[in-house]
Structure 1
Protein backbone atom coordinates (compact mmCIF):
# COMPACT_ATOMS: atom_id res chain seq x y z
CA UNK A 1 0.00 0.00 0.00
CA UNK A 2 2.31 2.71 -1.28
CA UNK A 3 0.86 6.16 -1.65
CA UNK A 4 2.54 9.17 -3.19
CA UNK A 5 1.49 12.72 -2.41
CA UNK A 6 2.90 15.84 -4.08
CA UNK A 7 2.74 18.83 -1.77
CA UNK A 8 2.49 22.15 -3.59
CA UNK A 9 0.08 24.09 -1.39
CA UNK A 10 -1.04 24.38 2.22
CA UNK A 11 -4.12 22.32 1.38
CA UNK A 12 -2.01 19.49 -0.10
CA UNK A 13 0.30 19.62 2.94
CA UNK A 14 -2.73 19.21 5.20
CA UNK A 15 -3.95 16.31 3.05
CA UNK A 16 -0.53 14.62 3.28
CA UNK A 17 -0.44 14.98 7.06
CA UNK A 18 -3.97 13.59 7.33
CA UNK A 19 -3.10 10.56 5.17
CA UNK A 20 0.12 9.94 7.10
CA UNK A 21 -1.71 10.14 10.43
CA UNK A 22 -4.44 7.77 9.26
CA UNK A 23 -1.91 5.26 7.93
CA UNK A 24 0.08 5.40 11.16
CA UNK A 25 -3.03 4.84 13.26
CA UNK A 26 -4.04 1.86 11.14
CA UNK A 27 -0.66 0.18 10.57
CA UNK A 28 1.51 1.49 13.44
CA UNK A 29 4.57 1.47 11.18
CA UNK A 30 5.04 3.82 8.23
CA UNK A 31 8.08 4.54 6.06
CA UNK A 32 8.24 8.11 4.79
CA UNK A 33 10.54 9.43 2.06
CA UNK A 34 10.73 13.14 1.28
CA UNK A 35 12.46 15.01 -1.51
CA UNK A 36 12.16 18.49 -2.90
CA UNK A 37 11.17 19.07 -6.51
CA UNK A 38 8.45 18.23 -8.96
CA UNK A 39 7.58 15.01 -10.72
CA UNK A 40 6.53 14.83 -14.31
CA UNK A 41 3.36 16.78 -14.54
CA UNK A 42 0.01 15.98 -16.01
CA UNK A 43 0.71 18.87 -18.38
CA UNK A 44 3.77 17.04 -19.69
CA UNK A 45 1.76 13.85 -20.22
CA UNK A 46 -0.95 15.81 -22.02
CA UNK A 47 1.67 17.47 -24.22
CA UNK A 48 3.15 14.11 -25.20
CA UNK A 49 -0.28 12.73 -26.05
CA UNK A 50 -0.98 15.76 -28.26
CA UNK A 51 2.42 15.33 -29.92
CA UNK A 52 1.75 11.64 -30.60
CA UNK A 53 -1.58 12.57 -32.17
CA UNK A 54 0.09 15.21 -34.34
CA UNK A 55 2.78 12.78 -35.46
CA UNK A 56 0.07 10.26 -36.40
CA UNK A 57 -1.84 12.92 -38.35
CA UNK A 58 1.15 14.24 -40.26
CA UNK A 59 3.18 11.09 -40.96
CA UNK A 60 2.61 7.54 -42.12
CA UNK A 61 3.65 6.17 -38.71
CA UNK A 62 0.15 4.88 -37.86
CA UNK A 63 -2.09 6.04 -35.04
CA UNK A 64 -1.19 7.91 -31.84
CA UNK A 65 -0.40 4.62 -30.10
CA UNK A 66 2.08 3.74 -32.85
CA UNK A 67 3.68 7.18 -32.55
CA UNK A 68 3.98 6.73 -28.78
CA UNK A 69 5.67 3.34 -29.17
CA UNK A 70 8.05 4.76 -31.77
CA UNK A 71 9.00 7.74 -29.60
CA UNK A 72 9.45 5.61 -26.48
CA UNK A 73 11.75 3.20 -28.32
CA UNK A 74 13.73 5.70 -30.39
CA UNK A 75 14.08 8.59 -27.95
CA UNK A 76 13.12 7.46 -24.47
CA UNK A 77 15.00 4.19 -24.31
CA UNK A 78 18.19 5.82 -25.55
CA UNK A 79 17.86 8.56 -22.95
CA UNK A 80 17.51 6.02 -20.13
CA UNK A 81 20.31 3.84 -21.50
CA UNK A 82 22.60 6.87 -21.35
CA UNK A 83 21.44 8.07 -17.91
CA UNK A 84 20.70 4.97 -15.84
CA UNK A 85 23.08 2.07 -15.35
CA UNK A 86 20.41 -0.18 -13.77
CA UNK A 87 18.04 0.47 -16.68
CA UNK A 88 20.83 -0.21 -19.16
CA UNK A 89 21.67 -3.53 -17.46
CA UNK A 90 18.02 -4.59 -17.46
CA UNK A 91 17.46 -3.49 -21.06
CA UNK A 92 20.48 -5.42 -22.30
CA UNK A 93 19.43 -8.53 -20.37
CA UNK A 94 15.74 -8.52 -21.35
CA UNK A 95 15.26 -6.54 -24.55
CA UNK A 96 18.47 -6.07 -26.52
CA UNK A 97 18.36 -9.45 -28.25
CA UNK A 98 14.78 -9.02 -29.52
CA UNK A 99 14.06 -8.07 -33.14
CA UNK A 100 13.12 -4.42 -33.70
CA UNK A 101 9.45 -5.23 -34.35
CA UNK A 102 9.16 -7.02 -31.00
CA UNK A 103 10.87 -4.18 -29.14
CA UNK A 104 8.50 -1.72 -30.76
CA UNK A 105 5.48 -3.86 -29.86
CA UNK A 106 6.66 -4.09 -26.24
CA UNK A 107 6.55 -0.29 -25.96
CA UNK A 108 2.74 -0.39 -26.02
CA UNK A 109 -0.15 -2.36 -24.61
CA UNK A 110 0.83 -6.01 -24.20
CA UNK A 111 -0.34 -8.89 -22.00
CA UNK A 112 3.00 -9.24 -20.21
CA UNK A 113 3.66 -5.59 -19.35
CA UNK A 114 0.18 -4.09 -19.25
CA UNK A 115 -1.33 -1.09 -21.00
CA UNK A 116 1.80 1.09 -20.84
CA UNK A 117 4.22 -1.55 -22.08
CA UNK A 118 7.90 -1.60 -21.21
CA UNK A 119 8.57 1.20 -18.72
CA UNK A 120 10.25 4.20 -20.31
CA UNK A 121 8.58 7.59 -19.92
CA UNK A 122 7.09 6.61 -16.56
CA UNK A 123 10.65 6.43 -15.23
CA UNK A 124 11.64 9.92 -16.37
CA UNK A 125 12.35 12.77 -14.03
CA UNK A 126 11.37 16.27 -15.17
CA UNK A 127 14.68 16.95 -16.89
CA UNK A 128 14.55 13.69 -18.83
CA UNK A 129 10.97 14.51 -19.83
CA UNK A 130 12.12 17.83 -21.25
CA UNK A 131 14.96 16.19 -23.17
CA UNK A 132 12.54 13.56 -24.51
CA UNK A 133 10.17 16.28 -25.71
CA UNK A 134 13.04 18.18 -27.34
CA UNK A 135 14.23 15.06 -29.16
CA UNK A 136 10.77 14.33 -30.52
CA UNK A 137 10.42 17.92 -31.71
CA UNK A 138 13.83 17.96 -33.38
CA UNK A 139 13.32 14.67 -35.18
CA UNK A 140 9.78 15.17 -36.37
CA UNK A 141 10.12 18.87 -37.20
CA UNK A 142 12.82 17.80 -39.66
CA UNK A 143 10.19 15.45 -41.15
CA UNK A 144 7.65 18.25 -41.60
CA UNK A 145 5.63 17.88 -38.41
CA UNK A 146 4.88 21.16 -36.66
CA UNK A 147 4.46 21.50 -32.91
CA UNK A 148 4.60 25.29 -32.47
CA UNK A 149 0.95 25.52 -31.45
CA UNK A 150 1.52 22.85 -28.80
CA UNK A 151 4.78 24.03 -27.27
CA UNK A 152 5.25 27.62 -28.42
CA UNK A 153 7.12 29.16 -31.32
CA UNK A 154 10.45 29.40 -29.49
CA UNK A 155 10.66 25.65 -28.78
CA UNK A 156 9.74 24.39 -32.25
Structure 2
Protein backbone atom coordinates (compact mmCIF):
# COMPACT_ATOMS: atom_id res chain seq x y z
CA UNK A 1 0.00 0.00 0.00
CA UNK A 2 1.42 3.34 -1.05
CA UNK A 3 -0.32 6.64 -0.58
CA UNK A 4 0.71 9.96 -2.06
CA UNK A 5 -0.75 13.09 -0.56
CA UNK A 6 0.12 16.59 -1.71
CA UNK A 7 -0.08 18.85 1.32
CA UNK A 8 -1.24 22.32 0.29
CA UNK A 9 -3.63 23.23 3.10
CA UNK A 10 -4.37 22.41 6.73
CA UNK A 11 -6.94 19.75 5.77
CA UNK A 12 -4.41 17.88 3.60
CA UNK A 13 -1.81 18.08 6.38
CA UNK A 14 -4.33 16.51 8.77
CA UNK A 15 -5.11 13.83 6.18
CA UNK A 16 -1.39 13.01 5.80
CA UNK A 17 -0.88 12.78 9.57
CA UNK A 18 -3.96 10.56 9.95
CA UNK A 19 -2.80 8.28 7.13
CA UNK A 20 0.70 8.00 8.60
CA UNK A 21 -0.69 7.28 12.06
CA UNK A 22 -3.03 4.58 10.71
CA UNK A 23 -0.26 2.89 8.71
CA UNK A 24 2.07 2.94 11.69
CA UNK A 25 -0.60 1.52 13.98
CA UNK A 26 -1.42 -1.27 11.49
CA UNK A 27 2.07 -2.18 10.24
CA UNK A 28 4.53 -0.81 12.85
CA UNK A 29 6.98 0.02 10.03
CA UNK A 30 6.40 2.85 7.56
CA UNK A 31 8.76 4.42 5.03
CA UNK A 32 8.11 8.13 4.50
CA UNK A 33 9.53 10.26 1.69
CA UNK A 34 9.05 14.01 1.74
CA UNK A 35 9.97 16.67 -0.78
CA UNK A 36 9.09 20.32 -1.01
CA UNK A 37 7.40 21.62 -4.09
CA UNK A 38 4.28 21.42 -6.11
CA UNK A 39 3.20 18.37 -8.05
CA UNK A 40 3.08 19.00 -11.78
CA UNK A 41 0.03 16.86 -12.35
CA UNK A 42 -2.82 19.23 -11.56
CA UNK A 43 -1.76 22.52 -13.13
CA UNK A 44 0.15 21.13 -16.08
CA UNK A 45 -2.38 18.43 -16.94
CA UNK A 46 -5.27 20.87 -17.01
CA UNK A 47 -3.24 23.25 -19.20
CA UNK A 48 -2.29 20.42 -21.57
CA UNK A 49 -5.86 19.25 -21.97
CA UNK A 50 -6.95 22.81 -22.72
CA UNK A 51 -4.15 23.04 -25.27
CA UNK A 52 -5.14 19.71 -26.88
CA UNK A 53 -8.70 20.98 -27.18
CA UNK A 54 -7.51 24.24 -28.74
CA UNK A 55 -5.27 22.37 -31.18
CA UNK A 56 -8.21 20.20 -32.22
CA UNK A 57 -10.39 23.29 -32.73
CA UNK A 58 -7.87 25.24 -34.79
CA UNK A 59 -6.21 22.54 -36.90
CA UNK A 60 -7.22 19.54 -38.95
CA UNK A 61 -5.54 17.14 -36.50
CA UNK A 62 -8.84 15.64 -35.34
CA UNK A 63 -10.26 15.67 -31.83
CA UNK A 64 -8.53 16.50 -28.56
CA UNK A 65 -7.53 12.84 -28.14
CA UNK A 66 -5.82 12.95 -31.54
CA UNK A 67 -3.97 16.12 -30.56
CA UNK A 68 -2.86 14.47 -27.32
CA UNK A 69 -1.52 11.39 -29.12
CA UNK A 70 0.33 13.58 -31.61
CA UNK A 71 1.90 15.76 -28.91
CA UNK A 72 2.93 12.82 -26.74
CA UNK A 73 4.63 11.10 -29.67
CA UNK A 74 6.23 14.13 -31.32
CA UNK A 75 7.19 16.22 -28.30
CA UNK A 76 6.99 14.08 -25.17
CA UNK A 77 8.83 11.04 -26.45
CA UNK A 78 11.63 13.27 -27.78
CA UNK A 79 12.06 14.94 -24.37
CA UNK A 80 12.39 11.56 -22.66
CA UNK A 81 14.71 10.18 -25.35
CA UNK A 82 17.01 13.16 -24.80
CA UNK A 83 16.95 13.07 -20.99
CA UNK A 84 16.31 9.53 -19.78
CA UNK A 85 18.78 6.80 -20.76
CA UNK A 86 16.48 4.07 -19.44
CA UNK A 87 13.57 5.34 -21.52
CA UNK A 88 15.85 5.62 -24.55
CA UNK A 89 17.02 2.01 -24.21
CA UNK A 90 13.50 0.64 -23.79
CA UNK A 91 12.05 2.78 -26.58
CA UNK A 92 14.66 1.50 -28.99
CA UNK A 93 14.17 -2.07 -27.83
CA UNK A 94 10.36 -2.12 -27.87
CA UNK A 95 8.88 0.76 -29.88
CA UNK A 96 11.36 2.01 -32.48
CA UNK A 97 10.65 -0.69 -35.05
CA UNK A 98 6.88 -0.18 -35.01
CA UNK A 99 5.18 1.71 -37.83
CA UNK A 100 4.37 5.37 -37.16
CA UNK A 101 0.60 4.79 -37.12
CA UNK A 102 1.00 2.05 -34.48
CA UNK A 103 3.15 4.27 -32.27
CA UNK A 104 0.67 7.11 -32.64
CA UNK A 105 -2.26 4.85 -31.76
CA UNK A 106 -0.44 3.54 -28.68
CA UNK A 107 -0.09 7.09 -27.31
CA UNK A 108 -3.84 7.10 -26.68
CA UNK A 109 -6.29 4.73 -25.07
CA UNK A 110 -5.43 1.14 -25.92
CA UNK A 111 -5.81 -2.31 -24.41
CA UNK A 112 -2.10 -2.70 -23.71
CA UNK A 113 -1.53 0.57 -21.83
CA UNK A 114 -5.04 1.46 -20.67
CA UNK A 115 -6.93 4.75 -20.88
CA UNK A 116 -3.83 6.98 -20.82
CA UNK A 117 -1.89 5.07 -23.45
CA UNK A 118 1.87 4.57 -23.55
CA UNK A 119 3.36 6.36 -20.53
CA UNK A 120 5.11 9.54 -21.60
CA UNK A 121 3.86 12.69 -19.87
CA UNK A 122 3.17 10.73 -16.68
CA UNK A 123 6.93 10.11 -16.47
CA UNK A 124 7.79 13.81 -16.66
CA UNK A 125 9.18 15.85 -13.84
CA UNK A 126 8.07 19.47 -13.59
CA UNK A 127 10.88 20.83 -15.81
CA UNK A 128 10.11 18.28 -18.52
CA UNK A 129 6.47 19.29 -18.31
CA UNK A 130 7.46 22.90 -18.92
CA UNK A 131 9.50 21.82 -21.96
CA UNK A 132 6.52 19.87 -23.27
CA UNK A 133 4.23 22.89 -22.90
CA UNK A 134 6.78 25.12 -24.64
CA UNK A 135 7.29 22.70 -27.53
CA UNK A 136 3.55 22.32 -28.09
CA UNK A 137 3.04 26.08 -27.96
CA UNK A 138 5.94 26.85 -30.27
CA UNK A 139 5.01 24.27 -32.88
CA UNK A 140 1.28 24.90 -33.00
CA UNK A 141 1.59 28.68 -32.77
CA UNK A 142 3.47 28.33 -36.03
CA UNK A 143 0.43 26.46 -37.35
CA UNK A 144 -1.87 29.35 -36.42
CA UNK A 145 -3.10 28.07 -33.04
CA UNK A 146 -3.54 30.79 -30.42
CA UNK A 147 -2.61 29.90 -26.84
CA UNK A 148 -2.05 33.38 -25.38
CA UNK A 149 -5.14 33.22 -23.15
CA UNK A 150 -4.30 29.74 -21.83
CA UNK A 151 -0.64 30.52 -21.20
CA UNK A 152 -1.41 33.87 -19.55
CA UNK A 153 -3.60 32.06 -16.99
CA UNK A 154 -0.59 29.91 -16.03
CA UNK A 155 1.71 32.92 -15.69
CA UNK A 156 -0.79 34.75 -13.48
1:85 paired to 2:85: yes
Equivalent in the alignment of 1:123: 123
The count of aligned residue pairs is 154
Q: What RMSD in Å do the two structures reach over aligned CA positions?
A: 1.5
The normalised TM-score by structure 2 is 0.93
Equivalent in the alignment of 1:103: 103
Equivalent in the alignment of 1:17: 17
Trace 1:5-154 onto structure 2 (pairs within 5 A). 5-152=5-152
**Structure 2 runs not aligned, ≥5 long:** none
The normalised TM-score by structure 1 is 0.93
Q: Secondary structure at the match of 1:34?
A: coil
Distance 2:130 2:86 in 1: 21
Distance 1:99 1:125 in 2: 28
Distance 2:89 2:21 in 1: 39
State the 1:32 CA deviation. Answer: 1.6
State the 1:95 CA deviation. Answer: 0.7
Distance 2:98 2:84 in 1: 20
Distance 1:93 1:38 in 2: 33
What is the CA deviation profile of residues 103-126 of structure 1, one whole-angstrom value per residue up to 9, with x for unaligned ones?
000000000110001101111111
What is the CA deviation profile of residues 66-106 of structure 1, one whole-angstrom value per residue up to 9, with x for unaligned ones?
00000000000000111111111111111111111000000
